[in-house]
Structure 1
Amino acid sequence: MGTRIHPTRRFRRTKGIRSAAAGLLLAAAAVTPLGVGTSAANAAGFGPDHTRIKDSVWGGYVAQGSFTRITGSWVEPHATCNSSNDLFAPWVGIDGYGSQTVEQTGVQTDCSSGSPQLSAWYEMYPAEPVYWNDPVAEGDSITATVVSEGGGSYALTLTDNTQGWTEHTTQYLDAQNVSAEAIIESPTQSYPSFDRLDFSGITVDGQTFDSYNPQGLTSGGYSPGPLQNGAFSMSPGGTFPHSTHPATRPGTIRY
């Protein structure tokens, strides 16, 4: 298990922003959020099988149901920092849409130093994220897996296929396993610029992600393309409309 580093970075540096993610999605999907106010996100149709939601903290795809395992891969894009507030992370995980926990692992890109700095991490919200010290670079192929092993036990594995390292940890949390997601997220609501981020090989409980008719989400001007055989791309613009007003985020809840 890695050591927690960079105490002001990623989700910890912007308390009150990221906790709204689950509630925003709930409100957008017309599900009653737990202690979270109404968001400005809206739902709309996306082809015969998927729905889409306007601008949200999360961008990508989220499925609802009862799940015990998700795995997926992505390629870290070349990112350009526009400000020191830019911060984003692709990740896969369980929960967060219809629950107040998230079990997740991924890679963040942080621009607080003025240039992109990549770090591998996992998080068992409401606990703080934990960072691994392994090297990550633009262009690296990453594979992440989150497994609910029963009894509140979760196995989280992150592999950098390019650099050749794997991190694995077992953690415990009283969670519900009510959603599964492959996501990009900016808790500061400020993304660096990148042309495209490709997710692939996403499976949930041994089935392709498509099997669960997940909802598509846009975030900060980045939209998911069609989900096909467990693969999709996040890119600027795209099919989905974008909100000109950020979704309301209550400041009393931290995430």
Structure 2
Amino acid sequence: MSPRSRTLALLATTALSLATALSATAPATAASHYHGSHARKHADNIWGGYVTYGSTFKTVSGTWNIPALDCTNNKGIASPWVGLDGWDSDTVEQIGIDFDCSTGKPQYNTWVEMYPQNSIYFSEPVQAGDSMTGTVTDNGSHRFTLTLSDPTKGWTKTYQKTLSSSTSVNAEAIMEPIGSGSVPTLAKFGPMQFTGVTVDGQPISSYATHQSTVTRGTTVLATTGALSGSAFAMTWRHA
């Protein structure tokens, strides 16, 4: 092999190795998170959690634990997040994390999204047992601050985003399956609870709320526990 051929072969091998490494660390899914309530359209309901309505809202914040995943015979994704809009509007300003079994092994992928734009994933260390807090704030003039933090690991990510069609008519804390199909496969997650869910500084229970359970037809995928002040549990039932 000539020196030039050897160099080209080495460059090709290096490029392939780099591409493989990047694909191994990239999140398995970059799909957009759902923007509205299937409950308003048909029997399937893809959001689980609580949504405020009947006013406009400035900020929503909530904390949730990162549970263990059981990816045995399950390649679904479960995504908890907090956000504004989406139930009575066509936009969502949201930030959260995917509990991802799509590769057959547990992964945790953090993201921010200004629907209808796609999610932006970012790499920060997260593992089962951590606690996570998300906050979305409407700063006026369709400008938003979206923050996600992992106090267990000691990191915080903050984004400044603009969405001209936003209305901030809802505030929510949600668990949602992500993927293809009207109601995708839901990753099997362990015990999980939202706590400290506040809207404009008050417990979410201070407002008119809609309680939503994740279903596919008559099959319940995840149940939403009773709202106690600013806390409620999400329980996996079916993929």
TM bin, normalised by shorter chain, reads 0.7 to 0.9
Return the offset for 1:84: 5.8
Distance 1:113 1:130 in 2: 20
2:197 equivalent to 1:233: no
Q: TM-score, normalised by structure 1?
A: 0.75
Cα contact 1:10–1:110 (8 A) shared by 2: no
When residues 82 and 58 of structure 1 are mapped into structure 2, their CA distance, relative to the original with a 3 A threshold, is farther
Cα deviations across residues 37-65 of structure 1 (Å, max 9, x unaligned)?
x3115xxxxxxxxxxxxxx1110111112
The equivalent position to 2:152 in structure 1, one of 139, 154, 162, is 162
**Corresponding residue for 1:137?**
127
Matches within 5 A, 1:112-127: 112-127=102-117
Cα deviations across residues 190-234 of structure 1 (Å, max 9, x unaligned)?
112223211000110111100013111111421111111200101
**Corresponding residue for 1:210?**
205
Structure 1 residue identity aligned to 2:227 = L
2:183 equivalent to 1:194: no
When residues 195 and 214 of structure 1 are mapped into structure 2, their CA distance, relative to the original with a 3 A threshold, is same
Structure 2 residue identity aligned to 1:158 = L
Distance 1:184 1:23 in 2: 13
Distance 2:37 2:49 in 1: 16
Cα contact 1:10–1:108 (8 A) shared by 2: no
The equivalent position to 1:81 in structure 2, one of 71, 76, 79, is 71
2:180 equivalent to 1:184: no
Cα contact 1:83–1:111 (8 A) shared by 2: no
Distance 2:234 2:30 in 1: 20
The equivalent position to 2:43 in structure 1, one of 28, 40, 43, is 40
The equivalent position to 1:11 in structure 2, one of 31, 43, 60, is 31
Distance 2:187 2:72 in 1: 6
Return the offset for 1:132: 1.4
Cα contact 1:119–1:135 (8 A) shared by 2: no
Cα contact 2:131–2:151 (8 A) shared by 1: yes
Cα deviations across residues 76-125 of structure 1 (Å, max 9, x unaligned)?
11111144630111000001101110000011112222101101110001
Q: Secondary structure at the match of 1:22?
A: coil
Return the offset for 1:7: 7.0
Return 5+ residue gaps in structure 1 as ranges.
13-17, 28-37, 42-55, 243-255
Distance 1:98 1:72 in 2: 21
Distance 2:66 2:98 in 1: 10
The equivalent position to 1:152 in structure 2, one of 124, 130, 142, is 142
Structure 2 residue identity aligned to 1:22 = G
Structure 1 residue identity aligned to 2:167 = Q
Cα contact 1:79–1:192 (8 A) shared by 2: yes
2:22 equivalent to 1:22: no
Distance 2:149 2:189 in 1: 22
Moved segments of 4+, more than 4 Å: none
Cα deviations across residues 119-178 of structure 1 (Å, max 9, x unaligned)?
111000111111111111111100000000001100000000110000001000020001
Q: Secondary structure at the match of 1:11?
A: coil
Q: Secondary structure at the match of 1:235?
A: strand
Cα contact 1:82–1:192 (8 A) shared by 2: no
**Corresponding residue for 1:45?**
none
Structure 2 residue identity aligned to 1:132 = F
Larger helix percent:
2
Cα contact 1:121–1:129 (8 A) shared by 2: yes
2:52 equivalent to 1:63: yes
Cα deviations across residues 12-39 of structure 1 (Å, max 9, x unaligned)?
5xxxxx54x51414x1xxxxxxxxxx31
Q: Over alpha carbons, which structure has the higher Rg?
A: 2
CA-atom RMSD, angstroms? Answer: 1.9
Q: Secondary structure at the match of 2:152?
A: coil
Aligned length: 203
